[in-house]
Homo-oligomer: A and B are copies of this chain.
Amino acid sequence: MRDTPYLAVDVDLLESNLARMAAHARHLGVALRPHAKTHKSPELARRQLAHGAVGLTVATVGEAEIFAAHGIDDLFIAYPIWAVGPRAERLRSLASRIRLRVGVDSLDGLGMLLASRAAVALSIEVDSGHRRSGVAPNAAAALARAALDAGLEVDGVFTYPGHSYAPERQTSAATDEQWALAVARDGMLEQGIPCPVVSGGSTPSAEHVVPGVLTELRPGVYPLLDAQQWELGTTEPERIALTVHATVISVRGSRVIVDAGNKVLGADRLAFATGFGRLPGHREARIVALSEHHATIEFPPGATVPALGDRLHLAPNHVCSAVNLADTLVAVHHDGREEEWAVAARGANT
């Protein structure tokens, strides 16, 4: 018996989720380049490549360094890299060892990438409605032109339709994404700038993408899934592959407290969430309060309330946050055999 709390991955569910997204990408005729920020795990990366992924996406130079050290030789840092100080040298060193693409969304960013002399391909970040980083779609060509004029390599455009994380917004976010990328791509083509890679992403929007615009898909959460995806309707609870195993340490009427708090589950709670995570095995229960080492779970009238010492399985709201709090994932095979997978890129934020 393993001391709780810990993060458990159902390997059969994981494999089924990996196969499903790989089939979707094949159906769309696009390359799959999963975002590894979700799992930060070389073992999971290996399985994604075995399912046909062309490479991985990461968020930071630090994540890229770690996956490169584990043998992944084709990475996209989907972030407007600010290549100053030690980071510039780290980027140049990394780009000398693997095939590396990085994001850019400003002339200043471009200037630093140029100054870093890192042998990277650039992808212009476009804002498709999330209102975070990225240039307007019709401004991509000018930035690409500036990059080419400076002697840099540009291989396309990318966006992150993060506004897919709201109820009933998955289809429209996918439409926004494809429209913004098409405008950006066409702007480049009109100026005679090739745009071979048109890259979109996000697990909630992925199923709503249609063949045509995208050449590459970058979903992150799909192998493991979480309570947010359940509540958005992206998944049924039965497909959630990662849960926190926790022990009931206090019972008071219809409320129980388990020994997993926000230092295990993460504190993420988007506006639409009905609690601080969910229990796939107890669908009517809600996690109504969360502190560092306590989750308070309310059961509805008439439900059988777990007893002191029972072990419950909690799906975090946001699996990327939960994984980033752990050093290992406990992979559970269908014969009950367990092995530990290192979260090798945990905390690699720079």
Chain A residues proximal to chain B, CB less than 8 Å: 1-6, 37, 59-61, 79-80, 82, 84-87, 90, 105-106, 108-109, 132-133, 162, 247, 249-250, 257, 259-260, 262-264, 266-269, 289, 291-294, 296, 308-309, 318, 320-321, 324-327, 347, 349-350
The 7 tightest CB contacts between A and B, nearest first, are: A1-B85, A3-B350, A267-B267, A267-B268, A133-B250, A108-B308, A3-B87
Residues of B within 8 A of A257 (CB): 132-133
Looking at the complex, which one of B1, B269, B308 makes contact with A106 (CB distance below 8 Å)?
Answer: B308
- A320→B261 CA distance, assembly (Å): 12
- What are 18 inter-chain pairs, A to B, with CB distance below 8 A? A3-B61, A3-B87, A4-B350, A37-B292, A105-B250, A106-B250, A106-B308, A108-B308, A108-B309, A132-B291, A133-B250, A262-B266, A263-B320, A263-B324, A264-B349, A324-B325, A325-B325, A325-B347
- A321→B262 CA distance, assembly (Å): 8
- A162→B291 CA distance, assembly (Å): 9
B292/A249 in contact, CB under 8 A:
no
A82/B309 in contact, CB under 8 A:
yes
A249/B82 in contact, CB under 8 A:
yes
B308/A259 in contact, CB under 8 A:
no
Closest to A136 in B: B252
Whole-angstrom distance from the CB of A97 to the nearest CB of chain B?
Answer: 19
Question: Taking each of A1, A259, A296, which has the highest tally of chain B beta carbons within 10 Å of its own beta carbon?
Answer: A259
Question: Taking each of A109, A266, A296, which has the highest tally of chain B beta carbons within 10 Å of its own beta carbon?
Answer: A266
Closest to A107 in B: B308
Question: Taking each of A1, A109, A267, A309, which has the highest tally of chain B beta carbons within 10 Å of its own beta carbon?
Answer: A267
Question: Taking each of A2, A249, A269, A349, which has the highest tally of chain B beta carbons within 10 Å of its own beta carbon?
Answer: A349
- A125→B208 CA distance, assembly (Å): 51
Residues of B within 8 A of A259 (CB): 82
Closest to A78 in B: B293
Residues of B within 8 A of A6 (CB): 350
Given contacts A85-B2, A349-B5, contact A132 B79 (CB under 8 A): no
- A87→B321 CA distance, assembly (Å): 26
Residues of B within 8 A of A349 (CB): 5, 260, 263-264, 293
Given A2-B85, A263-B347, output 16 extra A-B contacts at Cβ < 8 Å.
Answer: A3-B85, A3-B90, A5-B349, A6-B350, A59-B292, A82-B247, A84-B309, A109-B249, A109-B308, A132-B294, A132-B296, A262-B268, A263-B320, A267-B269, A292-B321, A327-B347
A289/B250 in contact, CB under 8 A:
no
Given contacts A3-B87, A259-B82, contact A133 B347 (CB under 8 A): no
Whole-angstrom distance from the CB of A112 to the nearest CB of chain B?
Answer: 8
B5/A350 in contact, CB under 8 A:
yes
B264/A266 in contact, CB under 8 A:
no
- A292→B264 CA distance, assembly (Å): 16
Residues of B within 8 A of A133 (CB): 249-250, 257, 294
- A324→B247 CA distance, assembly (Å): 21
Residues of B within 8 A of A79 (CB): 293
